[in-house]
Amino acid sequence: MEKENLECRKKAMSLLNYRDRTEWELRDKLLAGGFEEDEIEDAVEYVRSFHYIDDLRFAKRFVELHREDRSEKRLRQDLKRKHIPEEYIEIAFEEMFTDDSAAIRREIKKRLSACDDLTEISEKERRKIAMSLYRKGYQTSDIFREMEYLLKIDGN
């Protein structure tokens, strides 16, 4: 094996030792590191043979780790930005994602830090909270459903 291929494999292993990456991220880092396409291809095949890179596993783990603090829309965008194939994204969501309810409730409660419940804030403040959640990618119907749920709990 050529010295350059060995160096590229070592760099790939080093990058994956630091954190899990998608195949696209690994290729991008190696290319930025000055390696040639054939060296990168050899290194990617090498680490793939040991299952050190696996875009499906990455997608499932990413959804699992972030499903409670990001909307489904945001998670999908993040995975697409990492060049995860659409079919892997669908599989990850089928297996890992339920809905946005828990994440929305947590975000609302986080924004209520000054008061104990949703009934103590004005309608204007509720709309402000709703708009900030909407900008994070949550559906308005889900936001208002969860606000109503929290109002019923706090109001009783």
Which has the closest alpha carbon to 46: 9, 73, 11? 9
Q: CB count, 10 Å around CB of 115?
A: 11
Give the model confidence (pLDDT) of 7-52 as tens digits: 999 999 999 998 999 999 999 999 999 999 999 999 999 999 999 9
More confident residue, 151 or 132: 132
Domain range for residue 138? 101-155
| One domain, residues 45 and 32 | yes
- Amino acid identity at 130: A
Please tell me the pTM assigned to this model.
0.64
| One domain, residues 112 and 87 | no
Number of domains in the chain: 3
Q: Rounded to an integer, what distance in angstroms lies between the CA atom of residue 133 and that of residue 143?
A: 7
At residue 54, the pLDDT reads 94
More confident residue, 122 or 15: 15
